[in-house]
């Protein structure tokens, strides 16, 4: 009889992890252990663990952080990258303190996203996917952020800014440039 694969009996796979992996404090290890204990199958904890490793590695998943996740979850490096590159909440490259993720999906597109993107980018002197030379601002275009009724919108850290106009964008960027912007819901290297 062929083998049945179930959540408690996942597809067997070889977890090949390179020698060097990220190292975390006992407190972070304990936090990770608490999440792992919630799931009967270790790999199910992939997202909460990714958030922790992203926070601890300066706001993005670097190769050592990815190797750590593969090791702790008993999965392949490619399994980690598959998930990390799917979700826009996970960064796979360094981003600035002010990471502006502009929704480019239909409602936002119709309601003025191109104008907002053009305005943000020309003001910062970068294109989507780039970070300013001083490393402070990153602009990304992302898929629907679930705030279609208040389009156009972008996410800054974990804060949503909705019904955007170029004036609102200027007001937000002014505060960021003066380092007076207060994150209501935190940044990815803080949570």
Site of interaction with ligand FES (CB under 6 A): 103, 105-108, 144-148, 151, 153
Looking at the Cβ atoms of 75 and 151, the one nearer to ligand FES is 151
Minimum distance, C-beta of residue 4 to ligand FES, in the bound complex (Å): 39
Looking at the Cβ atoms of 105 and 132, the one nearer to ligand FES is 105
Minimum distance, C-beta of residue 147 to ligand FES, in the bound complex (Å): 4
* Percent helix / strand / coil, the chain, rounded to 5: 40, 10, 50
State the Cα torsion 175-156-182-168 to the nearest 10°: 40
Q: What is the CA radius of gyration of the chain?
A: 19
Minimum distance, C-beta of residue 173 to ligand FES, in the bound complex (Å): 20
Q: Residues near 115 by Cβ (< 8 Å), separated by ≥ 6? A: 166
Looking at the Cβ atoms of 117 and 147, the one nearer to ligand FES is 147
Minimum distance, C-beta of residue 69 to ligand FES, in the bound complex (Å): 29
Contact call for residues 72 and 100 (beta carbons, < 8 A): no
Looking at the Cβ atoms of 108 and 124, the one nearer to ligand FES is 108
């Amino acid at each position: 009889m062929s083998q049945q694969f179930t959540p408690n009996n996942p597809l067997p796979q070889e977890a090949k992890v390179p020698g060097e992996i990220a190292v975390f404090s006992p407190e972070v290890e304990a936090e990770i252990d608490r999440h792992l204990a919630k799931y009967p199958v270790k790999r199910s904890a992939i997202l909460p663990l990714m958030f922790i490793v992203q926070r601890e590695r300066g706001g993005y998943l670097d190769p050592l952080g990815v190797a750590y996740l593969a090791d702790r979850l008993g999965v392949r490096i490619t399994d980690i990258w598959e998930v990390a590159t799917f979700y826009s909440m996970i960064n796979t490259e360094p981003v600035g303190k002010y990471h502006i993720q502009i929704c480019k999906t239909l409602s936002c597109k119709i309601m003025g996203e191109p104008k907002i993107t053009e305005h943000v980018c020309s003001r910062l002197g970068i294109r989507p996917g780039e970070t300013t030379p001083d490393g402070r601002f990153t602009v990304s275009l992302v898929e629907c952020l679930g705030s279609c009724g208040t389009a156009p919108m972008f996410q800054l850290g974990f804060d949503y800014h909705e019904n955007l106009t170029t004036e609102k964008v200027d007001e937000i960027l002014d505060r960021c440039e003066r380092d007076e912007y207060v994150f209501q819901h935190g940044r990815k290297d803080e949570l």
